[in-house]
């Protein structure tokens, strides 16, 4: 089997590429290498005989047609993914997340591919105070990232309903593990704690997220792509619900860094308070089980990875002018007006 993976140089995409190669699948990885894409994420497999990398944009029909030549299916992860950036400048999110998905769906339709797996997110549901979201619940995205993902999620489903394309959608929860770009809560906290720099926590830090290891997220995506029913959506939960402040304190403790580094800063606009997913459908219908359910252990391993892999993250934060610029815009004023 040959599969086009988009966004394979990103965080979760790199786990998907490695999983597929380990399963004997031939992989074409189409990635634009935005600020979030990193060739180092796939260093161990770049010479693998079944692996091919194409640098290109999912919004470019020519690049997509070239990458999709002779494939059986597509696993689509490429996206702009950071909520805070979507609040600062939504345009790139609408373009890549919605238009890019349309271009890929058109290619899949033309070629009558055997499957199209769309990697969506739990953010499409919005916040839930109690209980857990089921796949059939209403969607109420609250930020431009989540809304763009939902647009693409529904467009993908429409290609099943209208054209009979075998579309399967996964809605995964907050993912963590080695190789996550250091703008997201966990790597940002680890790296700033290592440098003994202030750690920004939005609002009161009592927002809750359901943490899922990247390896399990990749396994769930592949399980859904290969065994999921056409037109169906599958929630993917890590069964790891924690308050943000719990995560931050755990990381500080692991690094023997003081809690006094924590700064409570102005909240994210439209910040969802709690995410929680009911994943019975994935477990019951597709027999999926988490292989890394122990969040305490996996968080310690993740922290260790960043400690041992400075060569991976130092270039990103030290020599990257765009990252510095983003950091200043997002946190400059927040940190100046913060409280401990």
Name the residue nearer to ligand DAU (CB basis): 102 or 202. 202
| Spatial separation of the C-alpha atoms in residues 274 and 125, rounded to whole Å | 11
> In the complex, what is the shortest distance from the CB of residue 305 to ligand NAD, in angstroms, rounded to a whole number?
15
| Spatial separation of the C-alpha atoms in residues 45 and 311, rounded to whole Å | 18
Three-class DSSP category at 93: helix
- Among 32-40, 66-74, 78-86, 216-224, the segment contacting ligand DAU (CB under 6 A): 78-86
Kindly state whether residue 184 participates in binding ligand DAU, applying the rule CB under 6 A: yes
Q: How far is CA 151 from CA 103, 111, 158, 234, in A?
A: 14, 23, 11, 17
| Residue among 104, 286, 294 at smallest CA distance from 211 | 294
| Residue among 286, 149, 171, 176 at smallest CA distance from 240 | 176
Residue nearest to ligand DAU (CB): 121
Active site residue 123: yes
> In the complex, what is the shortest distance from the CB of residue 183 to ligand DAU, in angstroms, rounded to a whole number?
6
Q: Is the dihedral of CA 157, 160, 165, 167 positive or negative?
A: positive
Both tokens assigned to 166: 């075998």
Active site residue 279: no
Q: How far is CA 312 from CA 109, 204, 260, 318, in A?
A: 38, 31, 27, 11
- Among 36-44, 75-83, 131-139, 250-258, the segment contacting ligand DAU (CB under 6 A): 75-83
- Among 92-100, 106-114, 183-191, 225-233, the segment contacting ligand DAU (CB under 6 A): 183-191
Per-residue mark of binding to ligand DAU, 272-311 (x: CB under 6 A): ---x------------------------------------
Active site residue 145: yes
Residue nearest to ligand NAD (CB): 10
Active site residues: 122-123, 145
């Amino acid at each position: 089997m040959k599969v086009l993976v988009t966004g394979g140089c990103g965080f979760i995409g790199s786990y998907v590429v490695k999983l597929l190669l380990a399963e004997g699948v031939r992989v074409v990885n189409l990635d634009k290498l935005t600020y979030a894409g990193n060739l180092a994420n796939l260093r161990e497999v770049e010479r693998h005989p079944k692996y091919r990398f194409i640098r290109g944009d999912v919004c470019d029909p020519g690049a997509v047609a070239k990458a999709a030549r002779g494939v059986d299916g597509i696993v689509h992860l490429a996206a702009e993914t950071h909520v805070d950036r979507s609040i600062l400048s939504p345009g790139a999110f609408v373009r890549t997340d919605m238009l890019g998905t349309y271009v890929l769906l058109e290619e899949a339709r033309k070629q009558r591919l055997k499957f199209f797996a769309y990697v969506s997110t739990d953010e499409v549901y919005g916040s839930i105070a109690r209980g857990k979201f089921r796949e059939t619940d209403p969607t109420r995205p609250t930020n431009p990232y989540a809304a763009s993902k939902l647009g693409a999620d529904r467009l993908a489903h429409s290609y099943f309903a209208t054209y009979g394309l075998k579309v399967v959608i996964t809605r995964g929860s907050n993912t963590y593990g080695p190789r996550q770009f250091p703008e997201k809560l966990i790597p940002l906290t680890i790296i700033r704690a290592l440098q003994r720099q202030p750690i920004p926590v939005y609002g009161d830090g009592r927002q809750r997220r359901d943490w899922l290891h990247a390896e399990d997220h990749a396994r769930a995506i592949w399980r859904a792509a290969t065994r999921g029913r056409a037109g169906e959506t599958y929630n993917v939960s890590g069964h790891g619900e924690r308050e943000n402040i719990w995560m931050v304190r755990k990381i500080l403790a692991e690094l023997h860094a003081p809690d006094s580094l924590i700064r409570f800063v102005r909240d994210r606009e439209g910040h969802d308070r709690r995410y929680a997913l009911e994943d019975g459908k994935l477990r019951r219908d597709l027999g999926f089980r988490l292989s890394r359910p122990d969040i305490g252990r996996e968080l310690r391993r993740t922290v260790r990875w960043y400690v041992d892999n400075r060569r991976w993250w130092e270039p990103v934060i030290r020599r990257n002018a765009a990252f510095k610029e983003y950091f200043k815009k997002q946190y400059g004023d927040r940190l100046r007006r913060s409280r401990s």
